[in-house]
Every structure is written in C-alpha cells, then in structure tokens.
Structure 1
Amino acid sequence: MDNEGVKLKKQKSEWREWLESAVIAIVLALFIKLFIFEFVLVEGSSMNPTLNDGDRLVVAKVQYYFQEPDVNEIIILHYSQGVEFVKRVVGVGGDTVEIKDSVLYVNGSAVEETYTDGSTYADYPASTVPEGMYFVLGDNRDNSRDSRFADVGFIKKDDIVGKVFLRIYPFDRLGRIE
C-alpha cells in the first residue's frame, strides 16, 4: 500500500509541476508582449518601399521607456481605438517641419529622403512640433495618413507603441530595419 501512496503522490507532484510551468510560461509571454516586444503585420502601402503590405515586423517596446524616439526611426503608434499605424519620425519637439515642392524641410534644411518613392503629396506649411510631440510621415507620401492630416496631427509619446527594428517575413527581406 505504501508504494501506491508514493505513486499517487508522485503523479500529483508531476501534474502540479506541469501546471506551474504552464502558468509561468503564460505569465512570462504576456509580460514580454506587454512590455518588451511584439510582432506586427503591415497592412497597407503607406510605408512602401521600405515596408510592404504583408511584412511581419518585430517592435521593441522597452526602448522608449529609457530614451526618446529619434528622427528617421520607424515606429508603431496608436491612431485610434484598436488601430495602429507604422510611420517614420521626421520631426521632434522644437523642430519646424515643412513640405514645399515635394521636398521635406526640417528647421529650414532640405532632408535627403532616399527611402521615399516619388512625390510627397501636397505642400505642407511650416509648423513647429510642440515639445514632447513628434511629426511622423509614411514613406509612400501619396498614400499615407500621417501628421500632415488634422485627424493624426502631432504624436504624443504615450501614443507610441515602440520602435520597429526587425523584419522577419518575407524571408527574402529578413533583416534589421534602419
């Protein structure tokens, strides 16, 4: 009878260990997704040619807890309830941003944009980005809802999910996003 009692106790112990391991794994996965990084799917063409519809990306969420987003970084941001955008930061607090004759100017200097494909939509009047805010644009300016439009406007840091740093699909374009 002692052997049966030991076997039963061992089975309960193994079951409990498995359950504890599963709970720890779930909690750890949730922590990582909420605070460290997450995977996102690009839907749409607003960041062509840099990012394409169907690209799968890894977003670093923890980075902006310790530093501010910088110009040229590609970020994920909350646009509205349940909708997130992927855009490029082109201006930070204190910068004056303007688009004239399809050329982006920041603080009066023309920005060489090797990542855009063609025109940059219509002119945009010189506007100074408020401190603590960001001006974002899509690389495909003719097909992007971004800071040029009143419903998007300047972006608060609290609306930034994180920095895009890696494309993991399609495999032929796998690599870091600079």
Structure 2
Amino acid sequence: MAKKKNEWFDWLKALLFALGLAFIVRMFLFSPIVVDGPSMLPTLHDQDQMIVNKITYKIRKPDRFDIVVFHASAQKDFIKRIIGLPGEHVEFIDEVLYINGESVEESFLTEQKENMKSYQTITNDFALEELPGEYEVVPEGHVLVLGDNRGNSTDSRMLGVIPIDQIVGKASLIYWPLDRMQFVGE
C-alpha cells in the first residue's frame, strides 16, 4: 500500500512540475496568439495561429520590419510590422517608404505592388508629423507600426507611435493551419 501511495505522489509531483514549467514558459518565454482580421494580409491570414517570442526584446532592441504583438488597449492586442524606429523620420510618397529622406524597400509588399492596378494604392502618402502626436521623429522608446494590408489596418496612422514597453513580443512562427506552418519575418 505504501508503494502505491509513493507512486501516486511521484505522479503528482511530476504533473505539478510540468504545469509549473508550462506556466513559466507561457508567461515569460513564448505565447500563442491568433491573428484576428485581414490587416496583415498577405503575410498573415485571419485565424493564423502563431507563437510569440517574449524574450527577444529583453535581449535586443526591435528591428525594422519585425512583426510584433503589442497591447493596443487593456482588452486588445494587435499584430503589426515595425516600420519606424526611435529617432527616425518616416514618410510615404508615391508608394515609397522614406526613412530620414532615404528610400527603403519593403520586399514583403513586392507581390502586392506587382498585382495592383495603376489606379490603386497600397499606402496612401503621409508623413510622421501628420500622425497622432505630430512628432518630427519617432520618440525614444517608441516605434511606428503598420499592417501589411495598408488599406485595412488600424495602426500608427490612427494610434500614433507605440511604446516599446507595450510590445508583448516578436511573432516568430505560424503553427496552424499546418499548410501555412512557417517562420515569419522579413
């Protein structure tokens, strides 16, 4: 009888250890997220299930074109792409991204640009100082984010620049649906 009691106790310890480890991983290292809406098409699709890496930005600063999840409000997280970094002036003119006056290619939009008709636009012209906050450059500790589906995205053009401390993590892997399983990024 004592042997059976010890065996149950060992199983209970193993189960509690596994649950504790899963909790730590989920809270501090990686987290699942489901893409909600079309704002990141064609890169991410509505209902794609992804893993968000929460430790990347504890080790390094965000990079241009990283796809990040951030707290848009107390109730809602958004997923968008970083376009502007602290200290940079961001501007779009005739479908071209300009950072500090230098054109920057957005290779993730190449297919969209090739398929659009002459009268269509992907990104309407704007300059950073026209956005909420009216900044001349992205302030320290903030980033400017846009959805890849620029015509259907609530992003920095409406929200203003995003505090880096509101970033949950970097979206790194689509794991569902299986036919879309892939690492994401630039």
TM-score by length of 2: 0.85
Closer, same or farther in 2 for the Cα pair 1:160/1:167, shift >3 Å? Answer: same
Which AA in structure 1 matches 2:105?
A: E
The answer to whether 1:88 aligns with 2:81 is yes
Q: In the alignment, what sits opposite 2:103?
A: 110
How do 1:32-43 residues align onto structure 2 when only pairs under 5 Å count? 32-43=25-36
Which AA in structure 2 matches 1:124?
A: F
How do 1:56-135 residues align onto structure 2 when only pairs under 5 Å count? 56-116=49-109, 117-118=112-113, 119-126=121-128, 127-135=136-144
1:98-155 CA distances to partner (integer Å, 9 max, x unpaired)?
Answer: 1223322111122222323352343222441001111111000000111111xx2111
Structure richer in strand, relative to its length: 1
Residues in 2 aligned to 1:14 and 1:85: alpha-carbon distance in whole angstroms: 46
Aligned length: 169
The answer to whether 1:144 aligns with 2:153 is yes
Q: In the alignment, what sits opposite 1:25?
A: 18
How do 1:37-56 residues align onto structure 2 when only pairs under 5 Å count? 37-56=30-49
Which AA in structure 1 matches 2:52?
A: V
3-state SS of paired residue (1:53): coil
The answer to whether 1:153 aligns with 2:163 is no
TM-score by length of 1: 0.89
Structure 1 unmatched ranges of 5 or more: 1-7
Of the two, which has the highest radius of gyration?
1
1:7-37 CA distances to partner (integer Å, 9 max, x unpaired)?
Answer: x211221111111111111111110001111
Comparing 68-77 and 102-111, the one that deviates more: 102-111
Identical-pair percentage: 42
Which AA in structure 2 matches 1:160?
A: I
